[in-house]
């Protein structure tokens, strides 16, 4: 089982932009994917798992500054959860794509996934990857 954290606000995978010069991934997406790779490499190096995988992601987003103290407390305790953008599937995509060729050969190995969104004073993504024996 591989467990690591990615500090900062989780970022959704941006759509590639097609111009007359070719296809370009948005800078924000590139930077976040680089951060994901670095955090994994610092923690584990390059294990390249080969079996089917299960991934569990907990995405923690900043509590809005405009929230009242009562609302902030409810958010911090998980009683109020984010129902705003970014979409959790796009956040998962940015993390799983970044780990291609580093944590595993390809994200097609992922056969089970759990993704949850929370609020926190410390924005981050918590990643757990389990190798499954079928």
**Residue 77 to residue 12: CA distance in whole angstroms:** 24
Q: Is the pLDDT of residue 40 over 80?
A: yes
CATH topology of domain 2-131: 60s Ribosomal Protein L30; Chain: A; (3.30.1330)
Provide the β-strand partners of residue 126.
Answer: 5, 58
Q: Check if the beta carbon of residue 40 is closer than 8 Å to that of residue 126.
A: no
Q: What is the pLDDT of residue 17?
A: 81
Mean pLDDT taken over the chain:
94
For the CA atoms of 10, 31, 129, 87, the dihedral, rounded to the nearest 10 degrees, stands at 40
User: 47-89, pLDDT tens digit by residue?
Assistant: 889 999 999 999 999 999 999 999 999 999 999 999 999 999 9
For the segment 13-21, the average pLDDT, to the nearest whole number, is 84
- Which of the 8 DSSP states describes residue 42? H
8: left (phi over 0), alpha (psi -120 to 50) or beta: left
Q: Check if the beta carbon of residue 119 is closer than 8 Å to that of residue 75.
A: yes
**Domain extents in the chain:** 2-131
Q: Check if the beta carbon of residue 1 is closer than 8 Å to that of residue 103.
A: no
């Amino acid at each position: 089982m591989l467990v690591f954290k990615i500090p900062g606000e989780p970022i959704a995978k941006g759509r590639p932009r097609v111009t007359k010069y070719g296809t370009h991934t948005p800078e924000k997406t590139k930077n976040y994917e680089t951060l994901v790779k670095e955090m994994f490499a610092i923690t584990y190096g390059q294990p390249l798992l080969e079996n089917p995988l299960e991934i569990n992601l907990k995405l923690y987003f900043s509590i809005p500054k405009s929230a009242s103290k009562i609302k902030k407390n409810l958010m911090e305790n998980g009683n109020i959860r984010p129902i705003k953008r970014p979409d959790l599937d796009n956040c998962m995509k940015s993390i799983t794509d970044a780990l291609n060729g580093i944590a595993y050969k390809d994200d097609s190995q992922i056969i089970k996934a759990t993704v949850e969104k929370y609020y926190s004073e410390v924005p981050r993504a918590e990643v757990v990857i389990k190798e499954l024996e079928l």
